Homo-oligomer: A and B are copies of this chain.
Amino acid sequence: MTQDRVGFEARLRQIGAERYHDKHPFHHLLHSGGCTLEQVRAWVINRYYYQSRIPMKDAAFLSRCEDADLRRIWRSRIEDHDGGVEEGGGIRRWLKLAEGVGLDPDYVSSARGVLPATRFAVDAYIRFVRDQPLLPAMASSLTELFAPAIHENRIAGLLKHYAFANDQTIAYFQHRLTEAPKDVAFGLNWVLDHAVTGADQDAAAAALTFKTEVLWAQLDALECAYVTPGRIPPGGWVPGEGML
């Protein structure tokens, strides 16, 4: 059944309301000050892998995109994350957070110690965007609809509860507060404009659902390895490794 524009947008937002990873217990632990410094470090190491693959995901999207105007707009996502040849960009800002929690940024950027389950989830996202039609490929980015709220909670929670939190270490999240809404306003409009059949809308909703699963699986892996039961799988970061 094809929904009208308003109904379809509500359907997409409902997916976030039910499944976005702001509802994951690990985030509650992190934002409420309940994480040990080791658990924060594990999160920083694993989340880096996700952040660092986002430009590859967006390049995979560009590589599928025959419309030069769409490529020109989409390219700013790569610029936001990678930054320039010399400076700037979300990846470098994330490595400032890594340093702030005492990790060697070279260790973190090597992606050694990333949980295998994190790699599987993130790599599945890149493959999804490379292989799926353009509409679901773009719809999978719409978790950004739900990102500003979690970033605001995170900034407040980190600043309140953790000594490592300051303007420099949380700069990544501050930038995302302005970058994500710009990106998602475009992406949401494009998806609403192009998902004109019921089958299109189902595919876009499934893509957004898939993406919420990619995010959730990373936190489940983190919790299992470092919180409860706290059983680090072979290949996973062991506290003490990769320190400054």
User: Which residues of A are in contact with B by a Cβ distance under 8 Å?
Assistant: 52, 55-57, 59-66, 68-69, 71-73, 75, 78-79, 82-85, 89, 91, 109, 111, 126, 130
Contact = CB atoms under 8 A, between A and B. Distances in A.
SS of A interface (majority): helix
A63 B66 contact: no
A71 B72 CA distance: 17
Nearest to A52: B68
Contacts of A61: 59
A91 B65 CA distance: 14
The 3 closest A-B pairs by CB, nearest first: A59-B62, A60-B63, A59-B63
A173 B62 CA distance: 24
Nearest to A65: B56
Given A55-B62, A57-B63, A59-B62, A68 B82 contact: yes
B56 A63 contact: yes
Nearest to A67: B109
Contacts of A91: 68
